[in-house]
């Protein structure tokens, strides 16, 4: 069993997330994390899905995703050199006498304190998943009051190319239209 990071470029339309999550659920595939956001082109969104499975499971996931009409491109990032990040916001119990100790821990992990209360602080940290996990474990003895994470986001490294050339822009799916000539002119019929 291996962790797979799958990048899915989809049309930015309502219901796409539900459709893809439903496909995973219907086929018994587990989603470890799922992050969705707009891309540089407002017509598209990128989903970064982390799932665990063997090679045949991944292949099945890729084939099923490819059948969804709103999916433009599916890419497995697991075996490529990628930049991966996870964002953590964690509220830790912190009486005033422990603030310098936790502040030093934040510096070591290159995090930052983003809110301070009388008995707790909120820390923001970004980095690879293993760095986030290590930081959470070091915060446990202080007492974690709340924790929220984005899940993994990833893109191929800038030096990484696909098939020896730069990645091509996404192909737009064509909507078929029909025309009919009438005595009053040409009509464009809506897609069926």
End-to-end CA distance of the chain: 43
> What is the helix (H) or strand (E) element at residue 81, kind and residue range?
none
Q: Which residues pair with 181 in a beta bridge?
A: 186
Q: Are 82 and 157 in contact (CB under 8 A)?
A: yes
Q: Are 115 and 62 in contact (CB under 8 A)?
A: no
CATH 3.30.70.260 domain position(s) in the chain: 2-79
> In angstroms, rounded to a whole number, what is the distance separating the alpha carbons of residues 38 and 44?
6
Closest to 116 (Cα-Cα) out of 136, 95, 146, 139: 95
CATH 3.30.70.1150 domain position(s) in the chain: 83-149
> Residue 191 has what pLDDT?
47
Q: Which residues pair with 30 in a beta bridge?
A: none
Strand locations in 15-149 (E):
33-38, 44-53, 71-76, 82-93, 112-116, 120-127, 144-149
> In angstroms, rounded to a whole number, what is the distance separating the alpha carbons of residues 28 and 23?
9
For 83-149, CATH gives 3.30.70.1150
β-pairing verdict for 2-11 and 112-116: unpaired
Structural fold of domain 2-79 = Alpha-Beta Plaits (3.30.70)
Q: Are 106 and 99 in contact (CB under 8 A)?
A: no
Q: In what order do the strands lie in the sheet with 2-11?
A: 33-38, 44-53, 2-11, 71-76
Please give the chain's pLDDT, 192 residues, in tens. Answer: 788 899 999 999 999 999 999 988 888 888 999 999 999 999 999 999 998 888 888 888 889 898 888 999 999 888 888 888 999 999 999 999 999 999 999 999 999 999 999 999 999 999 998 999 999 999 999 999 999 999 889 888 888 655 444 455 555 444 444 444 445 555 544 444
Please give the structure tokens belonging to residue 151: 């899940």
């Amino acid at each position: 069993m291996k962790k797979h990071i799958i990048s899915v470029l989809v049309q930015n339309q309502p219901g796409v997330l539900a459709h893809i999550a439903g496909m995973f659920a219907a086929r018994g595939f587990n989603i470890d994390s799922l992050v969705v956001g707009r891309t540089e082109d407002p017509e598209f969104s990128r989903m970064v899905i982390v799932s665990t499975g063997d090679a045949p499971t991944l292949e099945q996931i890729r084939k099923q995703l490819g059948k969804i009409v709103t999916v433009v491109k599916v890419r497995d990032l697991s075996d490529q050199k990628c930049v991966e990040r996870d964002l953590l916001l964690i509220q830790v119990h912190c009486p005033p006498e422990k603030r310098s100790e936790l502040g030093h821990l934040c510096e070591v992990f290159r995090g930052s304190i983003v809110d301070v209360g009388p008995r707790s602080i909120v820390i923001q940290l970004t980095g690879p998943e293993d760095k986030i996990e290590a930081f959470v474990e070091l915060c446990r003895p202080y007492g974690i009051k709340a924790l929220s994470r984005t899940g993994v986001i990833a893109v191929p490294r800038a030096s990484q190319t696909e098939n020896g050339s730069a990645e091509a822009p996404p192909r737009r799916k064509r909507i078929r239209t029909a025309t009919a000539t009438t005595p009053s002119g040409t009509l464009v019929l809506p897609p069926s």
